[in-house]
Amino acid sequence: MLHLEKILIIDFGSQYTQLIARRIREIKVYSEIHSHTYPIEKIIEEKPSGIILSGGPMSVYDPDSPQIDKRIFELGIPILGICYGLQLIALNFGGSVEPASHREYGKTELKLLEHSSLFKDISEISSVWMSHGDFVEKMPSGFTISAKSDNSPICAISNIEKNIFGVQFHPEVIHSIEGKRILANFVFNICGSKGDWTSQNFVEKEIEEIREKVGNKKAICALSGGVDSSVAAILMHQAIGDKLICIHVDSGMMRKDESAKIKKMFKENFSLNIIHINAAELFLDRLKGIEEPEQKRKIIGKTFIDIFEVEAKKIPDAEFLVQGTLYPDVIESVSVKGQSVTIKTHHNVGGLPEKMNLKLIEPFRELFKDEVREIGKELKLPIDFINRHPFPGPGLAVRILGDITFERLEILRDADEIFITELYESGVYDEIWQAFCVLLPVKSVGVMGDSRTYENVLALRAVTSTDGMTADWYRFDYSILERTSNKIIRKVKGINRVVYDISSKPPATIEWE
């Protein structure tokens, strides 16, 4: 078994937890996120270089608040507690936590009281990001105060002998100006990490683990043709060869000529065993009259699984289902007490039957889109394919607001092709994280020639982002929007008005549904 140094992140439900993982990986150290219920025996077995306790939305003194096995503090592994994590440390070492008289949220000045190894080369006064309603009122035994803020007299603590540290602020958030350096101090100076994790390391580790897990059985890969499932398919193929059977399901929710392009790309570049299934009629039938977004996603997820289970029965020894699920998919779908609230269900992580006959393999479940792209490059996928914008698993179904019909899908397909083609021709495609069209359940009056029209409204959406967790709307040159609008209204029958979405995430999501 290939062992990589790692930082273990214990999650108590903070929406920022995935950012901790990102920041650690940005400095070339592998990190994994696990629930606060992760067994202590597993932690001992994995031998992490360090442990980070995340923030969380609850108060540590709530009766049902997430707790941690106290033995974690006796393992001799360096620990850093962030926000809720700091407060847990305080409670476990005899300190006390109380509700703050003034909730601290946003940018705050951190004032250093000592230069511990955690704050090596950090300014005496540094801008940090706070998000808490409680504070440490009584110091835990054996700790010293390292920093304070105006509203938090105990803003950072340290126990040098035990190598346990805690901060009330969030160093993982970009608004903490020296936050990345603080995390680097913990990872390198305190944990002794080397910083040699690369996409090549990940590929080697995953291939070994996949081979061990699959054994002599076979795996089915849900190959949508998107970046995530395609990279997953190539990774699986390198691991188990002909024991991988890829199934591409044309749900009828694909972009224009998408299935044909997928066939061509894999035929010309890779020798994958691919079964193509046209299930457009089945998906449309099950979605008939369904307008609620969550229902759409769950119906589509279940339909995909139904198809895969039918196909699996035709394949002797098929025991596993491979999906290209990413961490942002998981974090947006989580709905656990004391964890993040559900924003929307992703078909990769929602809608699965309770007794699914196939076991899941999700090699990228803890990765972000940019990391998967790096792995795609490592696996020699064509660069223009790797750089394609993300496309949701439910496809165009979540870009048609309201009832889904074949006619509305065709309208959206034609409009979307015009928009994306214009982005390529204008040279801005690679500046944008994701761009697409949304067909609205709204009609408006227009005029074409001398005739009155009453047709559909189409919204254009384009955002910039690094990981899809936050996003800002793209500032187009007006001439691009003008050309796109004119072409769509002129060429796509059924649309007479085009609008542009200038919402950022948050508060909006990238997709409309």
Catalytic residues: 83, 170, 172
Nearest CA-CA partner of 469 in 156, 174, 157? 174
338 and 65 Cβ atoms separated by less than 8 Å = yes
281 and 252 Cβ atoms separated by less than 8 Å = yes
End-to-end CA distance of the chain: 42
Range list of H helices, 275-368: 280-287, 293-313, 327-333
39 cis-preceded (ω within 30 degrees of 0): no
Both tokens of 115, joined, read 């230069």
Owner of token pair 């990589």: 4
The DSSP letter of residue 188 is I
Cβ neighbours for 381, distance < 8 A, ≥ 6 positions apart:
230, 231, 234, 269
154 and 136 Cβ atoms separated by less than 8 Å = yes
Nearest CA-CA partner of 347 in 392, 291, 391, 308? 392
User: Which residues pair with residue 10 across a beta bridge?
Assistant: 34, 53
User: Which residues pair with residue 493 across a beta bridge?
Assistant: none
Q: How many CB atoms lie within 10 A of CB 461?
A: 23
217 and 318 Cβ atoms separated by less than 8 Å = yes
Both tokens of 39, joined, read 């067994």
Relative orientation angle of helices 369-378 and 227-240, to the nearest 10 degrees: 40
Cβ neighbours for 331, distance < 8 A, ≥ 6 positions apart:
15, 17, 18, 340, 469
